[in-house]
Structure 1
Amino acid sequence: MVNDKHKMINNLPCTPKSVDVLIKLLEDESHPIRFAAAEKLAEFGDISIDRLLEMLDEKKGPVKRYIIFALKKIGDPKVTDHFIKALEDEDWGVRKFAARALGELGDKRAVEPLIKALEDEDWGVKLAALRSLGDLKDERAIEPIKKARRKGDKEFKKAANQALKKIQS
Structure 2
Amino acid sequence: MDKARAKGKAKNIAGRLAGAWVGLVLLAAPLASAIPGPPQDQSSTSTQSQQTPQNSNAESVKPDNPESPKIPTAKTKEPLEKLAWAMLVAGVNDEKAQKRTAAITALGAVGPQPRAVRSIEETLKDKDSYVRELAATTLGKMRARHSIPKLRNALEDNSPEVVFAAARSLWELGDRSGRDIFVEVLDGERKTSDGLVKSNLRDARRKFSSPGGLALMGAKEAAGALFGPLSYGIAAAAEFSKGKDKGASARAIAASVLATDPSEEAARELDDALQDKNWAVRAAAAEALGKLPRQGQVSQLAPLLDDDKEAVRFMAASSILRLSQVDRKRKGAAGDSVPVLAVR
State which of 59, 64, 69 in structure 2 corresponds to 1:20: 69
- Confirm or deny: 8 A CA contact 2:124 2:132 kept in the other structure: yes
Deviations 1:147-166 (A, max 9, x none): 43455465898x9xxxxxxx
State which of 119, 124, 128 in structure 1 corresponds to 2:165: 128
Q: Secondary structure at the match of 1:120?
A: coil
Q: Secondary structure at the match of 1:87?
A: helix
Deviations 1:96-139 (A, max 9, x none): 1110111111121110111111121112111211111112113x
Give me the CA root mean square deviation.
3.1
Residue 96 of structure 1 pairs with residue 133 of structure 2:
yes
Residue 145 of structure 1 pairs with residue 194 of structure 2:
no
Deviations 1:43-93 (A, max 9, x none): x98852331113312433121011101111122512111111110010011
Worse-matched range after superposition: 57-66 or 147-156: 147-156
**Alignment-derived partner of residue 105 in structure 2:** 69
Alignment gaps of 5+ in structure 2: 1-62, 71-79, 193-344
Partner Cα separation in structure 2 for residue 62 and residue 54 of structure 1: 13
Matched positions, count: 115
Partner Cα separation in structure 1 for residue 188 and residue 119 of structure 2: 29
Q: Secondary structure at the match of 2:157?
A: coil
Residue 50 of structure 1 pairs with residue 83 of structure 2:
no
**What is the TM-score with the length of structure 1 in the denominator?**
0.56
Alignment gaps of 5+ in structure 1: 1-15, 22-43, 160-169
Larger helix fraction of residues: 1
* Identity between Structure 1 and Structure 2 (%): 25
Following superposition, which runs of at least 4 residues in structure 1 exceed 2 angstroms of deviation?
A: 44-50, 57-60, 146-157
Inter-CA distance 76–113: structure 2 relative to 1 (3 Å threshold): closer
Radius of gyration: which is bigger? 2
**Alignment-derived partner of residue 9 in structure 2:** none
Inter-CA distance 96–45: structure 2 relative to 1 (3 Å threshold): farther
**What is the TM-score with the length of structure 2 in the denominator?**
0.30
Worse-matched range after superposition: 108-117 or 57-66: 57-66
Partner Cα separation in structure 2 for residue 156 and residue 104 of structure 1: 27
